[in-house]
Structure 1
C-alpha cells in the first residue's frame, strides 16, 4: 500500500449521473466478520465489478485498474482483478504502463491451484 497516492482516484460518485457511479459504492455486498467485503472477498467483488451478477460492468473499471497499478495497491479488488492478477500485471508490464489495460490482464484461472504463473 502506498503511503501517498501517485495518481488521484477517479470520481467514484460519478457526479450527478447514477450510471457513472462506481458499482463498489452502490452494489450490496455480503457482510463479513471484518470491515470491508471489497478487501476480504475479492472473488465476489471482482464478479460485481465485472458484471457477472447483473450484466453491467462497472463504468470506472478501467480507471480503477490504472489507479491501482500506478499507486501499487496490493490488497483488495481493483479494476475487477484479484490481488494475484494485479501483481502479475505490475511485474510483467512494469516498464510499459501503456499496457495497463484490462485487455492485457491475465485470466484468473492462471492463478488457480496447480497452475504456474507466467
Structure 2
C-alpha cells in the first residue's frame, strides 16, 4: 500500500515538475487596463470620463481604477494628466505659445498647465522654454 502511494506521488511530481518556469500569462484585466492606457495615450487632450474609459476597457469603473493603479502606480486621471503634460512639452518644443499649448493639450487654461507642468517636470513652462 505504501509503495502504491509513493508511486502515485512520484507520478504527480513528474507530471507537474518542469525544468522551465511556467509560461507567464497576461491576466485579462491587465490587457483591459492596457487598452485603457492606450486610449488615454491616443487622446490625451480629450475629456475622457471614467465611465467611457471603463467601457473601453470592459471593466467597471471601480475595478478599472483599482487594477490601473496596481498595474501603473497611478490613477487613470493622474496618468492622463502626465500624458497631457508630455503633449504640452512637445507643443512648446515646436514653438507654440504657452497658452496655445495649454489649450491644445487639454488643460483648462495656462495656469492649469503651469501648475501640473511644474509639479511633474519641476520647472514652469516659461522656464522650460528659456533653457
- Relative to the length of structure 2, the TM-score reads 0.27
Which of 1 and 2 has greater Rg?
A: 2
Compute the TM-score of the two structures, normalised by the length of structure 1. 0.28
> Which has the bigger relative contact order, CA under 8 A and spacing at least 6?
1
Higher helix share: 2
